[in-house]
Structure 1
């Protein structure tokens, strides 16, 4: 059963003042902190050494396996297959599903981003395992992010979930937002800066879980 409750997303670009090696240590710490899913995302990131990207991701995948954390790759089928990731997450402008699905093992998790009501009502591919809905609030973590939805519109979109897929919310989410987001019908929250910029990652994850469970 896929647990989307605390879905962490990170890549080296989220630690801009750190070396790749230090970023690896910090991402490993996020994986070890009690999150339920970790998605590796590094769009636009340039690696100084040949093969360094795959080595980094393979090492993170090993940490996730040890911690029994679902390990996802953002929009890179080859990388996901090479490191034996648990799944891949794609956006509306990424590789078309009809081209993507035949490349995936039957047990590989497939996540799809949606940004509005029309995209939700268009979801009809039975191969999709979960949806990422957002941005719920304004965010600086993604340069090309769409306009924020707000909780009320997000709830309206969730009501149109014809396949009854689990949905994780993303975009500018803070700890104080979790009760309202759970009550809106989300199955979990995906965060970047809330964890990559946290002073105490484990304490933040613990607080997130407590807030979610008590909502």
Structure 2
């Protein structure tokens, strides 16, 4: 359970999965070698999110894949997830840590060096940084222009905890994110909306792996 080892990170969103369920996507991503899964599902009810989470927890636990819940500490506790991911307008890192305990993984969304340093000081285990290339999905970030790999590099240089790039990332543009210093990349549609989510995960993982050693991604501090 070490975010520095997360090279590929799936963020779930049922609305992009077509006629497939979130557990279907999670299962395929696991088969493709995903390292971590974040249960997001902001457009479904809390009960549905919990039910998706129970299935996802069973799948991820069997595969040794970390399961993180976006924002909802209560659901994270209810499904025995590995941790929670909070944004700038959610519960603070410190509160999430108090509620989940010292062994939980607590991640935080940031887009500036100041936010990143603050999250690290508050006890975050990793940072979700973006939107890197911009995105039209409000579930990822309101920023549409993207902060670019350059900001990834600045934040990775400013903190000692792992950085995961998110926002507009595809197999074709994941390389510069890792080369800039990110431990890995988080995606939604690149896997969820793909005709073959397992193959998409495998292809993304291969692209990230090729970029390791080119830059500072996954470095140990």
1:62 is paired with a residue whose SS is helix
Distance 1:35 1:208 in 2: 9
5+ long unaligned stretches in structure 2:
212-221
Query: Once structures 1 and 2 are overlaid, which stretch shifts more, 30-39 or 169-178?
Result: 30-39
Structure-2 residue corresponding to 1:18:
19
1:132 is paired with a residue whose SS is strand
> Structure 1 residue 99 and structure 2 residue 128: aligned?
no
Distance 1:153 1:23 in 2: 31
Distance 2:198 2:19 in 1: 20
2:155 is paired with a residue whose SS is helix
- Whether contact under 8 Å (2:87, 2:108) holds in the other structure is yes
Closer/same/farther in 2, CA of residues 32 and 105 from structure 1, 3 Å limit: farther
| Shift in Å, 1:211 | 1.8
| Shift in Å, 1:158 | 2.2
- Whether contact under 8 Å (2:96, 2:106) holds in the other structure is no
- Whether contact under 8 Å (2:93, 2:124) holds in the other structure is no
1:20-62 CA distance string (max 9 Å, x none) = xx34323332233210000000113237xxx443222111110
Write the mapping of 1:127-142 to structure 2, written as runs, cut at 5 A: 127-142=123-138
2:6 is paired with a residue whose SS is coil
Write the mapping of 1:28-177 to structure 2, written as runs, cut at 5 A: 28-46=27-45, 51-125=47-121, 127-142=123-138, 144-146=141-143, 147-161=145-159, 164-177=160-173
- Whether contact under 8 Å (1:86, 1:109) holds in the other structure is yes
> Structure 1 residue 206 and structure 2 residue 207: aligned?
no
1:129-164 CA distance string (max 9 Å, x none) = 111100001112325522410112322232222xx0
- Whether contact under 8 Å (2:84, 2:96) holds in the other structure is no
- Whether contact under 8 Å (2:26, 2:37) holds in the other structure is no
Closer/same/farther in 2, CA of residues 160 and 86 from structure 1, 3 Å limit: same
TM-score normalised by the chain length of structure 2: 0.85
5+ long unaligned stretches in structure 1:
none
Distance 2:106 2:79 in 1: 16
Query: Once structures 1 and 2 are overlaid, which stretch shifts more, 37-46 or 164-173?
Result: 37-46
Which structure has the bigger radius of gyration? 1
Q: After TM superposition, what 4+ stretches of structure 1 lie above 4 angstroms from structure 2?
A: none
1:74-94 CA distance string (max 9 Å, x none) = 000110001000110001110
Closer/same/farther in 2, CA of residues 178 and 74 from structure 1, 3 Å limit: same
